[in-house]
Chains A and B, each alone.
Chain A
């Protein structure tokens, strides 16, 4: 269900020009490279320049003092990749804050007895004090690992998530982890995800991926009877249950999900991953690294897919099925047919209420493109989109999704986003908690697109229904019409005449 439309590229170009004019020269020059207007295929590439349709620079340092929305490598590792692995204890190693602010905030749903056999919604910290900075924290880390083992004996392993000071004071968390792992016969993974490394969360994803390669794979004999339809789901963090509504579909088409990375995952699911037949990757940005590694080392192919909205779900299911052949393909068509009435009913209910509404997105490294078609399935129009921490390959992929004239912003600053939203006045903005309240104050409906605004899941057919409901309730709530005090409203012509 592809929606045909074109955005107001001229307006968007003007907005870009306007925001750049407000920066000091040096900053304007740097920010210019991150802002653009998507061009159609014919316009792009003239004068021999190698450009994608969304030609912006990405994955480079943020400018100081401009209010970037980005986080850090720790957030990418502990917050995103490792944190959801539920049967391991993840130690926020360093001062108390990082673990405190990220505690239970990503809504990585899991099933387990928290504090006993699972530890997802807990905050384990080494709570560094001045003496740990001065004398080093390795001894303390050893003691922490022992204390975890005593008080939480059913943990199936630990990770040491380094915060900024660890790398600066020269602690050897690798040596501590290696020794303790040997002594306790447990998996202990040191992750050098100090917040100052890299330019955003993104390097933290990469470092976390590498730590799986180096500290988990091939460390244990994995007993597992492999089957012909075994797949790993990679890069689904089960936010609000996303991985569950995806899993049910994959199982229905006849596949066996032997591991989910990393929402609701156990260490065992990660360890056995190299035995699967195919890696299905949802969040390409945060986990493509380990897929490439498994391809090189174990010959496991990987495939990107998109479970946001029926159009993408259908084409993804068919693409996945094709890989496995006629038997799965046949089941897949049945599954698609089974859900078609639900999809039709959801669209029939909500499309008339949402048709033509405009949306601006600003999210992390995947959703700024992945959710676009889900909105379009509801008849909505994407006027602008951008990523916090995408790389060039993400913007290349984005060009398959966005329409001509779409406003593109990479690592947008608070100032830019506010001005863009003011200038465009979309009907909905989808972004994060830091953006939510400023946007709503402007009288513009908003949905958090990291946490699903405490709702979800949004993946899969079951999730699409919830997504449609949530978009509708955001846009069509009566509160947006109450912003202006009636005595401040300029009287309409009719009222003015009547008063005379």
Chain B
């Protein structure tokens, strides 16, 4: 009997005990009707070949292990970045349970959102009644300052019109006439979560800016972060830099406090976020800076329409990307970049120089959202690494072209390949046929690490199986230090593991590296 009260074994050790190994072997043999071991081994080996890769990449319809989610997730994340805002997702209720779970599993935080809980009758007659009752219930129960409405694909397929539904609900006094209910149609069958983010932010800006007189305040800047699982660390770091510069700025959408509430006995359903007053005033900003171009394409168009200058970035991470962001902000605001920031920059460069021998020539596979992949590829090249595979399931052809241009600008990018629209099962073939030293992605990449042996560095959403990484910034020079350290730790840990066999490989088990 393997279990005892003194030493309690949970799943990981328990099922390695002989009783269980025997039981599972017997189960397989007698009851599972498995394929013969040789056939399984042969197929397993076949999936590592170029032939399999070609078939795998030729797939047209099937998607396996994609690195993207659907639009409403982005909308719910976006809404969480505004003061006392409740997300109301119009359509089937199961979707909302999924978004909340998904966000909670990453942030290890509460994630609130409500559904209009449409069922079969609503599919036939439309969901107006659900909207009318739902808004009233949300307003009364959860005391929001704003309710941000988005849609599931069910409501989109039957063609519910959010604008008229919300007007109807107001006519029926579900919420006061002047209560803010911005909305965005977020069909799951178009784009991905980054587009849902874009739609919701644009919806909120339109709601407050439409028909308002703009009187530009020179030198003021809006910052839109984009969908970012590291918003907690990143937004705070950027604010620190902007404060050091003395810039007058407004974060439009800031979930850094919402997804990082303290434990002190009080559950805060709402915390932080961009104040509604500030959203209104943001119309007058001279410029709007997007930290993630492919998260804000429509929003930036709208900002341009109202007369603001715009400046899109690709997840400003690493040296040159941070330089560019700061110089842009400096140019718009007229504020100098202070000496303290220059010193910080110098410290990142110092760290990179200290470690360059370990990083030079390392090959990487990078996947994630388009702007993140762009940023990581760029930083990797700054360290002398080669971004061999750059993959974004939600990457567009425009992204592909832009990234290729970046890669062509550096000798470290000359062998790099860009994979727009491909999934992680495609990545599996790429890693087997053209191996790399390191894989940069999210928790889903652990299956690639298991299958191909490529060490995984978790640096983007969602991270379910490691805790608290998102609390630390990746952006800015400070963030660069953290990314650098994460990469180095992975390299050193692997090297130590490979040289730790006593009397066999441990001559290279160096104390100093």
Binary flags per residue of B53-71, CB closer than 8 Å to A gives 1, else 0: 0011001111111101110
Select one of B104, B153, B263 contacting A443, CB under 8 A: B263
Q: Is A457's beta carbon under 8 Å from chain B? A: yes
Q: Is B119's beta carbon under 8 Å from chain A? A: yes
Q: Is A300's beta carbon under 8 Å from chain B? A: no
Q: Is B215's beta carbon under 8 Å from chain A? A: no
Interface centre among B59, B98, B135, B428 (most CB of A within 10 A): B98
Chain A residues in 8 Å Cβ range of B192: 96
B154 and A113 contact, CB distance less than 8 A: no
Q: Once bound together, how far apart are the Cα atoms of A338 and B65, in whole Å? A: 45
Select one of A72, A126, A169, A483 contacting B157, CB under 8 A: A169
Q: Is A172's beta carbon under 8 Å from chain B? A: no
A23 and B137 contact, CB distance less than 8 A: yes
Q: How many residues of A contact B (CB 8 A)?
A: 121
Binary flags per residue of B189-201, CB closer than 8 Å to A gives 1, else 0: 1101000000000
Chain B residues in 8 Å Cβ range of A244: 15, 20, 23-24
Contacts A71-B98, A111-B28, A244-B15 given: A65-B120 contact, CB under 8 Å?
no
B94 and A97 contact, CB distance less than 8 A: no
Select one of A153, A168, A199 contacting B119, CB under 8 A: A199
Select one of A71, A342, A413, A456 contacting B10, CB under 8 A: A456
B5 and A348 contact, CB distance less than 8 A: yes
Select one of A125, A197, A443, A465 contacting B120, CB under 8 A: A197
Q: Is B141's beta carbon under 8 Å from chain A? A: yes
Q: Is B296's beta carbon under 8 Å from chain A? A: no
Binary flags per residue of A412-453, CB closer than 8 Å to B gives 1, else 0: 011100100000000000001110111111110000000000
Which residue on chain B has the smallest CB distance to residue A259? B31
B8 and A469 contact, CB distance less than 8 A: yes
Contacts A27-B133, A116-B44, A151-B56 given: A165-B141 contact, CB under 8 Å?
no
Which residue on chain B has the smallest CB distance to residue A222? B33
Contacts A133-B189, A462-B3 given: A115-B112 contact, CB under 8 Å?
no
Select one of B108, B109, B136 contacting A24, CB under 8 A: B136
Chain B residues in 8 Å Cβ range of A198: 119-120
B187 and A342 contact, CB distance less than 8 A: no
B265 and A342 contact, CB distance less than 8 A: no
A466 and B10 contact, CB distance less than 8 A: yes
Interface centre among B55, B73, B133 (most CB of A within 10 A): B133
A64 and B154 contact, CB distance less than 8 A: no
Q: Once bound together, how far apart are the Cα atoms of A69 and B99, in whole Å? A: 11
B428 and A115 contact, CB distance less than 8 A: yes
Q: Once bound together, how far apart are the Cα atoms of A257 and B33, in whole Å? A: 14
Interfacial residues of chain A within 339-376, with CB under 8 A of chain B in the complex:
339, 342, 345-346, 348-349
Binary flags per residue of B1-44, CB closer than 8 Å to A gives 1, else 0: 11111101111001100011001100110011111000110011
B4 and A345 contact, CB distance less than 8 A: yes
Chain A nearest Cβ from B411, distance in angstroms: 36
B137 and A65 contact, CB distance less than 8 A: yes
Q: Once bound together, how far apart are the Cα atoms of A113 and B39, in whole Å? A: 12
A147 and B62 contact, CB distance less than 8 A: yes
Chain B residues in 8 Å Cβ range of A465: 3-5, 8
Interfacial residues of chain A within 63-95, with CB under 8 A of chain B in the complex:
63-75, 87, 94-95
A123 and B64 contact, CB distance less than 8 A: yes
Chain A residues in 8 Å Cβ range of B114: 64-67
Q: Once bound together, how far apart are the Cα atoms of A266 and B108, in whole Å? A: 34
Q: Is B274's beta carbon under 8 Å from chain A? A: no
Q: Once bound together, how far apart are the Cα atoms of A127 and B138, in whole Å? A: 32
B59 and A434 contact, CB distance less than 8 A: no
Q: Once bound together, how far apart are the Cα atoms of A193 and B234, in whole Å? A: 40
Which residue on chain B has the smallest CB distance to residue A123? B65
Q: Once bound together, how far apart are the Cα atoms of A183 and B145, in whole Å? A: 58
Interface centre among A132, A196, A264, A266 (most CB of B within 10 A): A196
Q: Once bound together, how far apart are the Cα atoms of A105 and B105, in whole Å? A: 10
A196 and B92 contact, CB distance less than 8 A: yes
Q: Once bound together, how far apart are the Cα atoms of A62 and B130, in whole Å? A: 10
Q: Is B261's beta carbon under 8 Å from chain A? A: yes
B265 and A248 contact, CB distance less than 8 A: no
Contacts A64-B130, A70-B93, A268-B32 given: A101-B102 contact, CB under 8 Å?
yes
A27 and B112 contact, CB distance less than 8 A: no
B11 and A345 contact, CB distance less than 8 A: no
Interfacial residues of chain B within 59-89, with CB under 8 A of chain A in the complex:
59-66, 68-70, 72-73, 88
Select one of A61, A69, A96, A240 contacting B70, CB under 8 A: A96
Chain B nearest Cβ from A129, distance in angstroms: 6
Interfacial residues of chain B within 131-146, with CB under 8 A of chain A in the complex:
131, 133-138, 140-142
Which residue on chain B has the smallest CB distance to residue A127? B63
Interfacial residues of chain B within 95-133, with CB under 8 A of chain A in the complex:
95, 97-102, 104-105, 108-120, 122-123, 130-131, 133
Q: Once bound together, how far apart are the Cα atoms of A154 and B110, in whole Å? A: 41
Which residue on chain A has the smallest CB distance to residue B32? A266
Chain B residues in 8 Å Cβ range of A66: 114, 137-138, 141
Select one of B73, B118, B122, B140 contacting A23, CB under 8 A: B140
A143 and B61 contact, CB distance less than 8 A: yes
A128 and B189 contact, CB distance less than 8 A: yes
Select one of A72, A95, A151 contacting B93, CB under 8 A: A72
Interface centre among A105, A124, A140, A164 (most CB of B within 10 A): A164
A75 and B94 contact, CB distance less than 8 A: yes
Q: Once bound together, how far apart are the Cα atoms of A95 and B151, in whole Å? A: 13
Chain B residues in 8 Å Cβ range of A477: none
B189 and A164 contact, CB distance less than 8 A: no
Select one of B5, B99, B152 contacting A349, CB under 8 A: B5
B154 and A433 contact, CB distance less than 8 A: no
Q: Once bound together, how far apart are the Cα atoms of A469 and B13, in whole Å? A: 15
Chain A residues in 8 Å Cβ range of B104: 433-434, 436-437
Q: Is A144's beta carbon under 8 Å from chain B? A: yes
Select one of A75, A195, A437 contacting B110, CB under 8 A: A437
Chain B residues in 8 Å Cβ range of A461: 3
Binary flags per residue of B252-280, CB closer than 8 Å to A gives 1, else 0: 00000000011111111100000000000
Select one of B65, B110, B187 contacting A130, CB under 8 A: B187
Which residue on chain B has the smallest CB distance to residue A164? B154
Q: Once bound together, how far apart are the Cα atoms of A23 and B52, in whole Å? A: 59
Q: Once bound together, how far apart are the Cα atoms of A97 and B102, in whole Å? A: 11
B134 and A65 contact, CB distance less than 8 A: yes
B1 and A165 contact, CB distance less than 8 A: no
Select one of B39, B157, B264 contacting A168, CB under 8 A: B157
A164 and B109 contact, CB distance less than 8 A: no
Q: Can you sample 18 A-B contacts with CB below 8 Å? A: A24-B137, A24-B140, A27-B137, A66-B138, A75-B98, A95-B188, A128-B153, A151-B56, A164-B92, A164-B152, A196-B119, A248-B23, A342-B4, A442-B265, A455-B10, A465-B8, A483-B263, A483-B265
Known pairs A65-B115, A163-B153, A196-B119 / 8 extra A-B pairs, C-beta < 8 Å: A23-B140, A24-B140, A62-B93, A122-B425, A123-B66, A124-B62, A129-B189, A154-B35
Give the 5 A-B CB pairs with smallest separation, nearest first: A72-B94, A65-B134, A64-B134, A97-B70, A345-B5
